[in-house]
Amino acid sequence: MKKAVCVFFLLVLSALLNGHEFWLEPFRFVLKPGEKVNIKFRVGENFHGENWQGTKSSVEELKLFYKDVDDDLKNMLSDSTAGDSLNLQFFDEGTVMVSYQSTNKYIQISADTFQTYLKEDGLQNAFDFRALNGLSDSMGREYYKRSVKTIFQIGAIKDSSYKKKTGLPLEIIPLRHPYGLKKGQSLPVKILFKDSILANNMVKVWHRQNGKTNMKDLYTDENGRLQVPVSLSGQWMLSVVKMEALSDTSRADWQSYWGSLTWGYK
């Protein structure tokens, strides 16, 4: 019985630590003009997720970047249908980017789980702060926001939509077109937090292909940049977390921001 309880605890802990990834997932990333694209809001672990259970009330901002268009998509979601998705259609060739910013959410978790989560996501500043202030055994009380983007390609004509700044507080920006890469090339990216470089920060690189997912940790340099080695197959995601201590700790001690970027190939 004791062994079964231990295994159950480890499974729950794993879900808490790894089930917090959130991303936008088109049903396909390379499409023909006129082809309909369904974009799901995914949450889960190991780059395998289920539809979120949010509604329009969970959305602070949902925007489309396509050619010269900078459009608000929030009203395309339902006020009442949990797990809603976007259905879009583009008749002209070009690069499309969709960005999503969530409203602020609150979570409270046990001290041990919070400590492990901080280590797993490279949040050493928060881990050290808790240690220095005798808070390592205190419950984790946190507000969090999601700042996520996806980039997909319609037809062959590529444009600069992929590198437009969206205004997300935590933003992953490719410095080269992800659909213009040649075999053996890496994807350079920069990461901004509140419009400033995010230096020496952990970034998780996820690659899913043929039902299997690989993940590795990279770090931004002092200029908030990194080179992501990619293969031109499968689906890709970069995810990053930034956490700040709050001055008003009446309800929460931390404000975190969770960013992701997805793209993929045939």
| C-alpha–C-alpha distance, residues 227 and 145, integer Å | 26
Rounded to whole angstroms, the Cα distance separating 217 from 121 reads 9
Over the stretch 70-84, which tens digit does the pLDDT of each residue have?
999 999 998 888 888
Q: C-alpha distances in angstroms, 259 versus 62, 102, 144, 253?
A: 14, 11, 11, 20
* pLDDT tens, position by position, 176-235: 999 999 999 999 999 999 999 999 999 999 999 999 999 999 999 999 999 999 999 999
Q: Find all residues with CB under 8 Å of 37, minimum gap 6, and list them.
A: 26, 27, 28, 31, 87, 88, 89, 90, 152
Please report, to the nearest 10 degrees, the dihedral formed by the alpha carbons of residues 158, 237, 148, 192 taken in order: -80
Close Cβ partners of 217 (under 8 Å, ≥ 6 residues apart): 122, 202, 203, 204, 205
Contact yes or no for 98/65 (Cβ under 8 A): yes
CA distance 104 to 146: 8
| Alpha-carbon span 209 to 221, nearest angstrom | 28
Report the pLDDT value the prediction gives residue 73, as an integer from 0 to 100: 96
pLDDT on residue 16: 44
Query: What's the mean pLDDT when you consider all of the chain?
Result: 92
